[in-house]
């Protein structure tokens, strides 16, 4: 950029100047103003800020607004870092309090959605309308799908809408990252706070019916994962919590199970399988049905027998002292169970029973529904499931409580009719 004319101060406008520069052989004229916005904390020298625009009036308005902000102590120096650069810094320095899987999900969504759309935007220039437009576009063309073309028979890719739930999750990441940027002084306010989010339809749960529970009990009998599935079904444990259960958490005398950790599958580069904190860091104790404690006693006996039969091939606990903190559910060689294999085996069983859409997690839902239908207080169900609040439990299983209200009304009607 080469200047070929001396800057000329506009009459009566203070430090506003008209400039003409040459870019790629063409002359461009614009107006510029500079003001002092403060002093450098290191050197003590004055910090100057320049404002440019196509007209003298535009620059004067920008300058006057900044002068007032400086005088009122409200002036904020916009950061020059890009949105992508800020997310890099945020993940590196400000996500240490977040769990492994949380950060992994954040990074995945950032790379897939946020960075391609907004990564090059200056953080200080990011606005609410920009973010709103980004969310709106995600709802129209946010995911790529592959389908068969009816005419050619070939597989083609096309853009499809992203679910409202996923858009809301992306907003959660944006909001957290930008809130931190406000806290550390990179931006003055969070532009993600004022957007309009799509309405999220409550996801329907699919607990097993009484007949399906009976059929599952029969189908699992003698299966390698029989006790795992039944434990989840009759305690409401999450799959990772059941697979991460260790013997020191089982109290046969009191009939209780302490839930303090979960088995989590990670890539080998990140350490592979590990025992991780619970989903909401809320340890809990479950008073289990005698049937469940009997299952665990059977598992204890079966595992001891496997240890004897495996001899030197056993890879689990090596002595009775180590066994106290060893896994409750193991393979025949003593190694912990594989999350993927447990999932696949359940899908095979459920498909054979005519419920192919059923998941291991639906056993947990079934426990919750059975508990409510049998009259357990919502607070007890919340504690057993490890939910953060009773309100969340009611939100997930509200349809069950509504059915219970209907049943209660029917019983009251029957009582009234009997009075006649």
DSSP structure class, residue 79: -
Quote the pLDDT of residue 139.
Answer: 94
User: What distance in Å separates the CA atoms of residue 305 and residue 326, rounded to the nearest whole number?
Assistant: 15
Structure tokens at 255: 């009939």
DSSP structure class, residue 214: H
User: What distance in Å separates the CA atoms of residue 314 and residue 330, rounded to the nearest whole number?
Assistant: 11
What kind of architecture, by CATH, is found in domain 83-194?
Orthogonal Bundle (1.10)
Closest CA to 109 of 181, 198, 176, 189: 176
3-class DSSP state of 126: coil
Domain limits, the chain: 2-72, 83-194, 210-408
Quote the pLDDT of residue 146.
Answer: 81
Q: How far is residue 166 CA from its own chain's centroid?
A: 9
Q: Where are the alpha helices (DSSP H) in 35-158?
A: 56-72, 83-93, 100-109, 115-118, 128-141
pTM above 0.75, yes or no: no
3-class DSSP state of 143: strand
Q: Judge whether 384 and 236 are in contact, CB under 8 Å.
A: yes
- Residue identified by tokens 């050619």 is 152
Q: What are phi and psi of 80, to 5 degrees?
A: -90, -5
Quote the pLDDT of residue 402.
Answer: 65
Q: How far is residue 87 CA from its own chain's centroid?
A: 17
Mean pLDDT, contiguous 10-residue spans, the chain (420 residues): 49 66 85 76 71 84 78 66 94 93 94 96 94 96 81 82 94 96 89 93 87 95 96 97 97 97 90 88 94 97 95 91 94 94 96 95 95 89 93 83 72 82
Residues 6+ apart with CB under 8 A from 383: 284
**Alpha-carbon separation of residue 13 from 29, 30, 37, 112, 166 (angstroms):** 17, 15, 18, 48, 51
Q: How far is residue 88 CA from its own chain's centroid?
A: 18
Domain 210-408 class?
Answer: mainly alpha
User: What distance in Å separates the CA atoms of residue 5 and residue 7, rounded to the nearest whole number?
Assistant: 6
In DSSP terms, 156 is beta-bridged to: 147
User: What distance in Å separates the CA atoms of residue 67 and residue 59, rounded to the nearest whole number?
Assistant: 12
Q: Helix 226-235 vs helix 210-220: angle between axes, to the nearest 10 degrees?
A: 150
Rama region for 236: left / alpha / beta (φ>0; ψ in -120 to 50; rest):
left
Q: Judge whether 215 and 355 are in contact, CB under 8 Å.
A: no
Structure tokens at 43: 């050197």
User: How many CA atoms, within 13 angstroms, populate the side-chain half-sphere of residue 262?
Assistant: 21
Q: What are phi and psi of 288, to 5 degrees?
A: -90, 155
DSSP structure class, residue 26: E
Count of beta carbons in the 10 Å neighbourhood of residue 147: 10
Quote the pLDDT of residue 12.
Answer: 37
Closest CA to 63 of 30, 33, 36: 33
Structure tokens at 19: 């400039």
User: What distance in Å separates the CA atoms of residue 136 and residue 161, rounded to the nearest whole number?
Assistant: 10
DSSP structure class, residue 189: S
DSSP3 helix / strand / coil % (the chain, rounded to 5): 50, 15, 35
User: What distance in Å separates the CA atoms of residue 290 and residue 337, rounded to the nearest whole number?
Assistant: 25
């Amino acid at each position: 950029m080469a200047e070929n004319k001396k800057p000329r101060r506009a009459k009566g406008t203070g430090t506003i100047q008209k400039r003409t520069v040459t870019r790629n052989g063409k002359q461009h004229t614009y107006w510029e103003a500079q003001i002092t916005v403060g002093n450098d904390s290191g050197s003590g020298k004055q910090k100057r800020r320049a404002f440019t625009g196509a007209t003298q009036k535009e620059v004067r308005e920008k300058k006057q607004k900044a002068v007032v902000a400086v005088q009122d102590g409200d002036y904020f120096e916009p950061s020059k870092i890009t949105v992508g650069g800020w997310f890099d810094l945020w993940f590196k320095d400000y996500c240490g309090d977040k769990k492994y899987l949380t950060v992994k999900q954040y990074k995945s969504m950032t790379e897939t959605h946020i960075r391609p759309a907004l990564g090059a935007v200056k953080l200080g220039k990011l606005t609410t309308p920009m973010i709103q437009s980004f969310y709106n576009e995600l709802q129209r063309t946010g995911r790529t799908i592959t389908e068969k073309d009816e005419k050619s028979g070939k597989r083609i890719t096309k853009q499809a809408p992203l679910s409202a739930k996923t858009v809301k999750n992306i907003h959660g990441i944006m909001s957290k990252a930008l809130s931190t940027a406000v806290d550390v002084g990179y931006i003055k306010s969070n532009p993600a706070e004022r957007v309009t989010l799509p309405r999220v339809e409550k996801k329907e749960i699919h607990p097993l019916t009484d007949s399906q529970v009976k059929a599952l009990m029969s189908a699992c009998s003698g299966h390698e994962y029989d006790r795992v599935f039944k434990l989840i079904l009759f305690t409401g444990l999450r799959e990772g919590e059941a697979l991460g259960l260790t013997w020191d958490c089982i109290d046969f005398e009191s009939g209780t199970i302490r839930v303090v950790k979960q088995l989590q599958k990670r890539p080998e580069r990140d350490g592979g399988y590990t025992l991780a904190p619970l989903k909401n860091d809320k340890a809990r104790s479950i008073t289990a049905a005698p049937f469940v404690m009997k299952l665990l006693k059977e598992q204890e006996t079966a595992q001891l027998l496997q240890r004897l039969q495996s001899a030197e091939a056993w890879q689990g606990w090596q002595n009775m002292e180590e066994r106290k903190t060893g896994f409750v559910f193991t393979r025949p060689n003593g190694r912990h169970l594989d999350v993927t294999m447990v999932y696949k085996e359940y899908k095979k069983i459920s498909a054979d029973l005519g419920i192919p859409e059923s998941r291991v997690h639906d056993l947990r839902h079934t426990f919750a529904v059975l508990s409510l239908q049998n009259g357990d207080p919502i607070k007890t169900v919340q504690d057993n499931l490890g939910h953060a609040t009773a309100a969340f439990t009611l939100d997930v299983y509200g349809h069950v409580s509504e059915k219970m209200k209907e049943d209660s009304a029917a019983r009251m009607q029957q009582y009234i009719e009997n009075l006649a």
